[in-house]
Structure 1
Amino acid sequence: MKYGFILMGEPNEVVELAQEAEQAGWDGVFLPDNWMTAWILLTAIATCTKRIALGTMLTPLPEQPPWYIAAQTATLDQLSNGRVILTAGLGVLELDKFGMQDNKVRAQRLDEALELINIWWQGEPSQTLTYEGRHYHLQEMQASVDWRTQRPVQTPRIPIWVIGGVKQSQLRRAARWDGAVINGKPDEIGKRKTAIEELREGLPLRDIIVEGETPPNDPERAGSIVRPFAEAGATWWLESMWEWEGISRAYDIRTRVRSGPPRY
């Protein structure tokens, strides 16, 4: 199992915490991406780290231009020598700032955007990109710079993680891509993993991702929390301390980062 940490806070603080996370043995850092700022912060982190994976948790793709995400992630993947992970979802419905309160429409936009991004990443220097969907339309688009700068290091693509929820549409989406973020108890993790792999005709899913919180100074307790998820098939544990505000909470998060990932 690999271990990531979802980081929040002021930009300089996040970059410092990411460096400390790498030093403490964490395998990845993941940032919320509500306003398209995560890739800027992840780029800063990439320049001062060498090993740690860099991702979002999560990018609300229906609200963001997919070609922007495709170019940003590919550039960062080159800069970081292949350390990027894209986690994409519908996002949280807050204000109707994009006029997309209909979850069916948001889901359609998500699926089309993922397809478009995957095509973009695999483009050749002389290739023109065309895409005709219900919500996105590109006709004979060609990058104004060498297309090689728009392609990621990782092959066949940057790993794409999506939500592996209870709906059949969510399971089908997870079966199409590389990783499923699943919330629930270990037995639920196992059930959905099986359901997704059945849709993949028995082909194992690359990653099963779970979120949770473990104590910083009790390795035995931390291990007991993580172990059942690993046994159920989870490949990533993301330490998620979502309640950020307050001096004491900021101290707790820094302490948890420094104490390193749980082990079992």
Structure 2
Amino acid sequence: MKSAIWIPLFDELADPLVVARLAAEAEEAGWDGFFVWDHVRWREPVQAAADPWITLAAMAAATSTIRLGPMVTALPRRRPQVVARHTATLDRLSNGRLTLGAGLGSDRFGGEFSRFGDEEDDRARAGMLDESLAILRQAWTGDAVQHHGEHFTVDDVAFLPRPVQPTVPVWIAGFPGRIRPLHRAARHDGFVPVNLEHPDQLAEAVAKIADLRVGEPPSSYDVAVTLPADADLAAFRAAGATWWLADFDPHSITVDEVRSVIRGGTYSPAKFVE
């Protein structure tokens, strides 16, 4: 199971230079990934928030091997043609190290949809998410994109230069007990369960995704769990997790806390044997 740092870009961590230094420290300490939240607003007491794409660019320039990306970005509040440019450019800047986390997003933590007049209906956002992902998949090929959907239009536009990777891996966020997110996740490259409470939940979701992906090699699929460093990581690994993303409280996170987890080290079976 690979290990990554996963942080909100809030308050002390709203400085891209600070986060870039932390990413470099994580790489030096042997971590496999460093992922950041994508939010334009969060509820109090959070005051400051940084842009994830500019922060990721700073991280890419400060590192050379660690995987990075937004985890997750709410594609329904972003224009897919802009995300196509962002992702291809960031993948080239990082020499093929981008992973894109994608999901519906939620209004309940900061009013990120209602306060800006964006779509609040979950069903409508699901349609927007699927269309955006279809556009991105086409855009990353470098061929001209033709898309005329309910929510978005792209009329014969090629997005060049292409990413370094043949295609950017896409991990889909969703509740593990809901069938539609699992179907969506099965069509892409990974799954990030939301509000995961027990390894059994994960095992059930992983089994369902495996059924939906019958005929596809298991090694080509990732399951990323977001858990604090003191969680029972071995149990989630046994349930099917391939990545552990070290989770932090967004209302109290500090630079020192992140640095302490980085220095504490990555997941290894021997480390967590009692």
Structure 1, unpaired ranges of 5+:
216-221
Query: Alignment partner of 1:233: what SS?
Result: coil
Task: Select 1:237's aligned residue among 205, 224, 244.
Answer: 244
Q: What's 2:213 paired with?
A: 200
Please name the residue that 2:14 is paired with. Answer: 10
Tell me which amino acid in the other structure corresponds to 1:227: A
CA contact 2:103–2:174 (8 Å) conserved in 1: no
Shift of 1:19: 1.0
Out of 237, 250, 261, the residue aligned to residue 256 of structure 1 is 261
Whole-Å Cα distance in 2 between the matches of residues 261 and 234 of structure 1?
14
Alignment-derived partner of residue 64 in structure 1: 78
- Residue of structure 1 in register with 2:228 after alignment: 213
Does residue 105 of structure 1 match 2:116? Answer: no
Alignment-derived partner of residue 86 in structure 1: 100
Off by >4 Å, runs of 4+ in structure 1: none
Q: 1:3 deviation in Å?
A: 0.4
1:163 aligns with 173
Per-residue Cα deviation, 1:114-142 (whole angstroms, up to 9, x for no partner):
00011000123xxx321011100122234
Instruction: Name the % identity.
Output: 38
Compute the TM-score of the two structures, normalised by the length of structure 2: 0.84
Query: Secondary structure of the equivalent of 1:84?
Result: coil
Q: What is the CA-CA distance between 1:164 and the residue it aligns to?
A: 4.1
Q: Which AA in structure 1 matches 2:212?
A: L
Q: CA, structure 1 residues 180+26, in 2 after alignment: closer, same or farther (shift >3 Å)? A: same
The aligned residue for residue 33 of structure 1 is 38
Of 129, 149, 163 in structure 2, the residue corresponding to residue 152 of structure 1 is 163
For 1:161, give the aligned amino acid: W
Shift of 1:185: 1.4
Give 1:202 shift: 4.5
Q: Aligned with 2:266: secondary structure?
A: coil
TM-score normalised by the chain length of structure 1: 0.87
Give the deviation of 1:191 after TM superposition: 0.8
Give the 3-state SS of the residue equivalent to 1:67 in structure 2: helix
Q: Which residue of 2 aligns with 1:176?
A: 187
1:135 to 145, 151, 154: 151
Deviation at 1:90, TM superposition (A): 1.0
Q: Secondary structure at the match of 2:240?
A: coil
- Kindly tell me: are residues 85 and 15 of structure 1, through their superposed partners in 2, closer, same or farther at Cα, counting changes over 3 Å? same
Aligned to 2:67: 53
CA 1:67–1:108: 2 relative to 1, 3 Å: same
- Matching residue of 2:44: none
Q: Residues 132-183 of structure 1: CA distance to partner in whole angstroms, max 9, x if unpaired?
A: 111001222345xxx2x1x11112x110000242222111101110000122
Distance 1:121 1:142, change over 3 A: closer
Contact 1:27 1:52 in 2 (8 A): yes
Q: 1:99 to 1:252 in 2, by over 3 A?
A: closer
Q: Following the alignment from structure 1 to structure 2, what is the Cα–Cα distance between the partners of residues 164 and 81?
A: 29
Structure-1 separation of matches of 2:184 and 2:155: 26
Q: How much does 1:242 deviate? A: 2.5
- Mapped to 2, the partners of 1:113 and 1:208 lie a distance apart of 22
**Unmatched 5+ residue regions in structure 2?**
41-49, 270-274
Q: Distance in 2 between matches of 1:31 and 1:64?
A: 17
Question: Following TM superposition, by how much is the alpha carbon of 1:70 offset from its aligned partner in structure 2, in angstroms?
Answer: 1.2
1:164–1:192 Cα contact (<8 Å) kept: no
Residue deviations 1:206-229, cap 9 Å, x none? 1011011114xxxxxx6xx21111
The answer to whether the 8 A contact 1:63-1:98 is kept is no
Q: What amino acid is the match of 2:208?
A: A
User: Secondary structure at the residue paired with 1:55?
Assistant: strand
**One-letter code aligned to 1:210:** V
Secondary structure of the corresponding residue to residue 99 of structure 2: strand
- SS, match of residue 40 in structure 1: helix
Separation of aligned partners in 2, 1:46 and 1:161:
19
